[in-house]
Amino acid sequence: MDIISLFFISLGCVMMFTAALGVLRFSDIYMRLHASGKAGTGGTIAILGGILIRTGVTQISGKILLIMIFILFTGPIAAHAIGRAAHVHSGATDDVPFYDTELKNEDEGGDEDDD
């Protein structure tokens, strides 16, 4: 059990390290968000899973399991909220036109179908 838990903890550390490198190396907000969101959530789940295996069945393992479920649900939601805020805030540029008409209409307060 020690070897399996050490494997998951090491895997989580490697994933967190690659997420940190991705945040430092990538140039675009969306690529940085992808690196931190996927590897950050997966790395945290792997580390907590390794700790869960190491502790066995105790009261602490129940709390760790609840934390893992919480992170599993809130991590992607937070990444989506940040990505949407970046998308809405950036708007149209010369390089990337604003094709998302639903978000554009929502920001302007109007609707295309209303005449």
Tell me the C-alpha distance between 86 and 26, whole Å.
16
Asked if pLDDT for residue 115 goes beyond 50, the answer is: no
- Longest Cα pair distance anywhere in the chain, in angstroms? 67
pTM, entire model: 0.71
- pLDDT tens digit string along 57-111? 888 888 999 999 999 999 889 888 888 888 777 655 555 555 555 555 555 555 5
Contact 9, 50 (CB under 8 A): yes
Helical packing angle, 59-90 and 101-108, nearest 10°? 80
Nearest to residue 33, comparing CAs of 21, 43, 22? 22
Q: Give me the percent of the chain exceeding a pLDDT of 70.
A: 77
In the chain, the percentage of residues whose pLDDT exceeds 90 is 31
Gap between the Cα atoms of 12 and 88, Å rounded: 32
